[in-house]
Amino acid sequence: MKPGPRNLITDVAGLKVGNAQDEALKSGTTVLIGDNPFTASVHVMGGAPGTRETDLLAPDKTVAAVDALVLSGGSAFGLDACSGVVDALRAQGRGFRVGDALIPLVPGAILFDLLNGGDKGWGQNPYADLGRAALADASENFPLGSVGAGTGALSAMVKGGLGSASLQLPDGSMVGALVGANPVGAVTTPGDHHFHAAPFEIDGEFGGLGPDPTSGLGLSFESRKMAAMSARANTTIAIVATDATLSKAECQRVAVAAHDGIARAVVPAHMPNDGDLVFSLTTASKPAGDVAMIGHAAALCLSRAIARAIYAATPAEGDLLPCWSTLNA
């Protein structure tokens, strides 16, 4: 396996990602859209998820395909980003047709960034506008770090962010991951230098520092985030994608496997105060794939994407936590 040409989820042909953010708000939204509706499912392992229209992604539910997926900051307010995307897609003539009605199907998930130092004193919920702006920004190339849903994200010790990575399988199919990394746990080992995901790094994509040579990692838990926020509200939300043809049930199995990527990159993971969630989708532009191998690749991509999110985060005025890049300059 090797990364795709962009090392982004958009190496899966037919997908685009757009971001919108408000620097004063310290929050934003990320939208993934396909050239055509796509089969998708979801799996939640965190104890505090915030979601919209995820029930329809269960394998036994009638809906066969959705139009877009949304990752957003803003906690429950951020779910309104999906409404902005729905409105914009309807205006474009996209959606599920029922008689004369056109209904864009846009599941979404949110992370908690309400206490990160940004100005949250809005008079009107800003997230619908952020959703529309993110959709309008959709492209095959997009930045990582402090953008979109990752704008105000924080890990335990350093700023979080938006990350992505990809892998091409030996059969030619592509797998990619997109993540808003805002976990309870730490993405770096004690000392803020090495990444937990280091064993899975490819071509120095997040610094090439290798694994931490010390042992006994994870036996104690320090968190600048908890000290700064006095709250335990967090979440890692992600999308994994492939062009190999999968059923809806197989997409769900890939989402389950991809959660291993969170556990390899974040210590501890899947906590009661995390809303850890992974969407999984297929564009089905290639023949049926090996579900086991796709799930394995999705987990690898997600681990790398989480580390890349933190590695690419950039400082901004009023930040509660330092960036990895600042501490390791």
DSSP per-residue codes, 242-288: EEEE--HHHHHHHHHHHHHHHHHHSBS-S-TT---EEEEEEEEEEEE
Asked if 131 and 85 touch (Cβ cutoff 8 Å), the reply is: yes
128: part of which helix (H) or strand (E)?
helix 127-136
Q: Select from 197, 321, 199, 215 the least CA-distant residue to 262.
A: 197
In this structure, of 58-67, 188-197, 227-236, 312-321, the range with the lowest mean pLDDT score is 227-236
Maximum Cα interatomic distance, the chain, rounded to a whole number of Å: 63
Q: What percent of the chain lies above the pLDDT cut of 70?
A: 99
CA distances from 161 to 31, 154, 178, 179 (A): 15, 7, 11, 8
Q: Could you report the per-residue pLDDT of 282-293, keeping only the tens digit for each?
A: 999 999 989 999
pTM of structure: 0.95
Q: Does position 125 have pLDDT exceeding 80, yes or no?
A: yes
A 10 A CB-CB count for 96 gives 15
Q: Could you report the per-residue pLDDT of 159-168, keeping only the tens digit for each?
A: 999 999 999 9
Most confident range, picked from 10-14, 154-158, 228-232: 10-14
Q: Select from 211, 156, 206, 216 the least CA-distant residue to 184.
A: 156
- Given this model, what pLDDT does residue 228 score? 77
- Given this model, what pLDDT does residue 20 score? 98
Q: Does position 272 have pLDDT exceeding 80, yes or no?
A: yes
Q: Could you report the per-residue pLDDT of 134-192, keeping only the tens digit for each?
A: 999 999 999 999 999 999 999 989 999 999 999 999 999 999 999 999 998 999 999 99
Asked if 144 and 308 touch (Cβ cutoff 8 Å), the reply is: yes
Domain covering 2-328 assigned CATH 1.10.1060.10 in the classification: no
- Given this model, what pLDDT does residue 230 score? 58
User: Please, what is the angle between helix 248-265 and helix 291-312, to 10°?
Assistant: 40
The DSSP secondary structure of 140-153, one letter per residue, reads: S----BSSGGGTT-
Q: Select from 188, 252, 175 the least CA-distant residue to 221.
A: 188
